[in-house]
Structure 1
Amino acid sequence: MSIVALKPHAIPAPAIGKRLDPRGNSLNLIRLVLALLVLFAHSWHIVGAGGGPGFRGENLGGWAVAGFFGISGYLITASRFSNRIGTYLVHRAARIFPGFIVCLAVMAFVFAPIAYSIQHGSLRGFLSTPTTPLNSILGNLPLRIASYDIAGTPAGVPYPGAWNGSLWTLYFEFLCYLLIAMLGFIPLVKKTPWPIIAAFLVSVALWANVAAIRPFADIEMLVRLFPYFLGGAVVQVLSSRIGIHRVGGPVALVVAALLIYFVPGYGAQLAAPFFTYGLLWISTWLPQPSIIGRHDISYGAYIYAFPVQQLLAVFGAYHWGVWWFTLAATLCTIPFAAASWVFVERPVMRRARNSH
């Protein structure tokens, strides 16, 4: 989801392990794999085959989102602590909103008309439905998804009434950006890792007691996802002391798995720093094709996968079964993701960097 370039810092190497090389890692590939895991998880729903494989009550898509938030927390915290608040917010908005808005427009004025014409035989009445194309864009513009259908489409498919079941996480990710922005105003936060560690533990405690706070505020999804983000932030604030170690990486993954398996309810949130550290360790040795290193299409893959899958379903591709459907959806999503990167995301981010 979010992409930030790590900048080398003129500070001593950590006492344990090595600092993550900003150019010698495969985080672009890992994020793309996570995006495709979300696609695969959604395929089960879209073809009407159930929830698909999972672990400890969460399907693969949920675990992929947890990985996204952890990596994001690691990178975004570094961005906040190395930039003034104005620059930070401009960069974060430039990363999320342009691609998101264009995706809304593509769904409203390309995908939905195709589906509507198939359902009704023409486009007559398309612009006079309760959820018109323009209404769907304007209603969802603040990132909080208010409507999932467009002009009553998609219909006649196993998962009707929703063009994009992935976009809802962007709202909560942006809230995480704002929360870490606020924490960055506290001088002590930049001097010692303990405030971030404390914030992480508080976030885990909130999720562990979410049933008690649910009647007072509709913040369940934020409380669920924020520990993953702060888990990545914990790894970042400790990175000057504890680098990426060849033994620490696999140990962290084992610890994460044990916490997830043996701690019911909030084990996944408690495991977030270890899970994120393990992903960062994997990025130090996993080979990454040079084209993926230069072109980060993970965000585009994430936001376009679901509508591409639904459009395929409209054409009846859900009859192919999960595996063939997933393969077709992946092949059809990659061009949209690449176009989003080349024509929207990268140009806007370059302009944002050059303006500050």
Structure 2
Amino acid sequence: MAAHRKPRQFPLSGQAVRTAATLALASAATATLFEGSGHAEPALTPAQVKAKVDQLYQEAEVATEKYNGAKEKADRARGSLDRLRDEAARRTDRLNEARDGLGSIATAQYRAGGLDPAVQLALTSDPEQYLERAALAEKAGERQAAAVASVHRELTGLRQLHTESAERLTELQGHEADLRRQKAAVQGKLTEARTLLARLTAEERARYEAATASGRTGGGSSASGDAAAVRADRGSLPRGPVSAPNSRAAQAIAFAQAQIGKPYVWGATGPSAYDCSGLTQASWRAAGVSLPRTTYTQINAGQRVSRSELAPGDLVFFYSGITHVGLYIGGGQMIHAPRPGAPVRIAPIDEMPFAGATRVT
């Protein structure tokens, strides 16, 4: 029977070892190269960075208006829930009072023995005394019936209030979840924009900020550029009151003029900062007119007008999704809160895609 032997292994020679090591290293380097190239961010030109940042700021404004809408709905649901809870507390107090009244009647009947009138008639030898007692018993019965009805009424009302409160709470929780989603979307877009801007050189960033300060593009801006833009905007304001079609429009414009230079902060409605719809809402509030919160609801807050019919005080809207709004002041100019990093300022309505206009009535 033949013996089973292990195959003989021949050690690699020095040259073979070196060749194998070279191949292994080359293979690893190649794999690393391909892996890195698959995940490396593509190089962007300054112009591409600027275009991408502008797009991100516009997307952030879309999310901001959705956030504003969700917040408005959440606030309404919260107010409704608070009113229902207040009414439930009042009904609970009335229920307790009704129960106390019913308990007093029951206690009085217990102390009086609770005898049926027919029994009392059989036991008394004085008919007049019986009639007097019977009349009192009838009144007590009426009071008891009224007390029972009051308890029943308050209990029924409380059940309805609890059902409505549960519905409002569910609605509120849904709006708050939407609020968190839109907030995360805004913050994500702004973070991505800041990351892209950080890839520009100091010289490229300076040119970009100078262009931003002059209103030729979007994005971040420098303090000196902002100050220069604000001085230019205030210097371009007309002397005396604006020629508006009515006093309320003039008041709205005067308020907006006073906000020039204040920062854009998404979701802000003043008095120290604004987003675009927050500024127009606050401006018309100063004139005694209540506007809804978002761009896509403000556009329906008055009479639609064409671009050729624009008058000072009209609301002007931009982009296909109605995601930006400004306050028209005449001469093809508006006051608006542009975007993060760019304060409230005067700008031509031609700098963004025009989507429509509304005259507040």
> How does the TM-score come out when normalised to structure 1?
0.30
Larger RCO (CA under 8 A, 6+ residues apart): 1
**Larger proportion of strand:** 2
**Larger proportion of helix:** 1
Greater Rg over alpha carbons, structure: 2
> How does the TM-score come out when normalised to structure 2?
0.30
